[in-house]
Amino acid sequence: MGQIGDVDCPVFDGVYEYCQIYSGGSVTGAAMLATGQADIAFNWSGGMHHAKRAEASGFCYVNDIVLGILELLKVR
């Protein structure tokens, strides 16, 4: 069987769960900052900035930075 998905962003078993985990870390960190539960939050698996609005790129499947920013904007 050949490669599934783009070579730059291959589809692999568990890709959905992987995206949930690293994106969830960024969103949770942002929520903790916004509610005062943390002074510092850092997601070692997050910040993969190559993901775009409508496509994956550079092994980046989800733009978790934007998800974190949207979470922070909820407290405005």
Query: Measured between alpha carbons, how far is 72 from 70 in angstroms, rounded to an integer?
Result: 5
Q: Is 49 a catalytic residue?
A: no
Catalytic-labelled residue, pool 15, 50, 57, 67: 50
- Alpha helices, DSSP H only, in the chain? 15-34, 64-73
| Helices 64-73, 15-34: crossing angle, 10 deg rounding | 30
Catalytic residue set: 50
